[in-house]
Amino acid sequence: MDSRKIQELLRKANEALKNSYAPYSGYRVGAALLTKTGKVYTGSNIENASYGLTICAERVALFNAVNEGEREFIAIAIVSDDPSTPPFPCGACRQVLAEFSPSMEIIVKKGDEVIIKNLKELLPYSFDFK
């Protein structure tokens, strides 16, 4: 993926970050998911006082895309306003992403550093019924 497309995804993830609802943890996250058809779907994390009902930005973006009929994904960019740690997807998000595109690229930003990993690197043995 070229650097221009990566920067566009990061910009859209930053826009999504503005919609984050994280009054409990204060850890705000935005995500932008690129589909095989070239569309981009965004999401932000939405917390709940009952933490188990919280949903991550990555799954919001993915569920928005799936709801619109998309099933194949190229990459997801994930940003946070916490510069201390790269916002890699949690285990649940890794599994949900792998259901659709186990080889997608994961793009995260820590401060000014952009880190790109393949989902298979982050979740080499995802659960699968196939």
Is residue 130 assigned to a domain?
Answer: no
Task: Report the alpha-carbon distance of residue 71 to residue 8 in Å, rounded.
Answer: 21
pLDDT at 128: 84
Q: Does residue 116 have a known ligand-binding role?
A: no
Indicate which CATH number applies to the domain containing 24. 3.40.140.10
Is residue 129 assigned to a domain?
Answer: no
Mean of pLDDT values over 115-129: 94
E-only strand ranges, 27-126? 29-35, 40-44, 73-80, 105-110, 113-118
Q: Does residue 49 have a known ligand-binding role?
A: yes
Under the banding of pLDDT at 50, 70 and 90, the label for residue 129 is: confident
Task: Report the alpha-carbon distance of residue 126 to residue 11 in Å, rounded.
Answer: 29
Under the banding of pLDDT at 50, 70 and 90, the label for residue 84 is: confident
pLDDT in tens, 37-75: 999 999 999 999 999 999 999 999 999 999 999 999 999
Q: What Rg do the C-alpha atoms of the chain give, in angstroms?
A: 14
Mean of pLDDT values over 95-107: 97
Catalytic residue among 8, 15, 58, 105: 58
Check residue 82 and report its DSSP letter: -
Among left, alpha and beta (phi > 0; psi -120 to 50; other), residue 26 is left
Is residue 44 assigned to a domain?
Answer: yes
Is residue 33 assigned to a domain?
Answer: yes
User: How many domains are there within the chain?
Assistant: 1
Is residue 20 assigned to a domain?
Answer: yes
Task: Report the alpha-carbon distance of residue 29 to residue 98 in Å, rounded.
Answer: 20
Under the banding of pLDDT at 50, 70 and 90, the label for residue 96 is: very high
Q: Is 58 a catalytic residue?
A: yes
Is residue 27 assigned to a domain?
Answer: yes
Residue-number span of the structural domain to which 98 is assigned:
3-122
Under the banding of pLDDT at 50, 70 and 90, the label for residue 4 is: very high
Q: Does residue 24 have a known ligand-binding role?
A: no
Q: Does residue 90 have a known ligand-binding role?
A: yes
Is residue 128 assigned to a domain?
Answer: no
